[in-house]
Amino acid sequence: MKKRALANPDAIKAARELIKAQRERLGADPDGVTTIVTGVPRPGDGIDWKAWMPPAPKSSPPAIKPKAPVATEPKKTLPVEWKWFCVQTGAPSDRNPQGVIAEGFYGISDGVVYVEDMRSNPLGSQHLRSDDNPQAVARKILKDRRRTSSVPGFYDGAPYNPNRVFH
């Protein structure tokens, strides 16, 4: 069986001549290497880089006006004196015979009650009215914060069962 030629040799020769003519028309070197302009001037590359540079501006850019100062909230002054308090969050039960309490600190500054937990993490604040009891407001903030934890049972302790041993 005769081997079949993949392409006509005359067609290949014609295609090569067409490519060569196209390269000559575009100004490519006969070796197939063209000049690549990267935008980075290099000494001795033979390119007039000043011709590529945009002309310098004839006038300076307009002056930038400073922005008007933005009104900010008055700074909060934190309380200097903090008082300890606790609130019952769970009644005595079989699981917790002594009940459950939550402890925290509260302080008053500029008519605002600030509440922190025992690790001094802020839990919340609330403006006081003239008839409000600051400790009652603090208890409400702490109890609400414990009730609305993102993880149910997060503040609950380990289950109480004296007959079970954990290793």
Is a pLDDT exceeding 90 seen at residue 48? Answer: no
**pLDDT above 70: percentage of residues in the chain:** 67
pLDDT band for position 150 (50/70/90)? low
**Per-chain mean pLDDT for the chain:** 78
* pLDDT score at 1: 58
> Which residue is listed with tokens 């307009």?
62
* pLDDT score at 29: 60
Identify which has the larger pLDDT, 30 or 6.
6
> Which residue is listed with tokens 């009730």?
147
pLDDT band for position 23 (50/70/90)? confident
Domain ranges of the chain: 83-147
What's the average model confidence in pLDDT over 144-160?
Answer: 64
Tokens standing for residue 40: 């980075």
How far apart are alpha carbons 145 and 95 in whole angstroms? 22
Question: What pLDDT, in 10s, does the model give residues 82-128?
Answer: 999 999 888 888 877 888 888 999 999 989 999 998 888 898 999 99
- How large is the C-alpha radius of gyration of the chain? 41
Q: Is the pTM here over 0.85, yes or no?
A: no
Is a pLDDT exceeding 90 seen at residue 25? Answer: no
Q: Which of 154, 151, 102, 152 is nearest to 124 (CA)?
A: 102
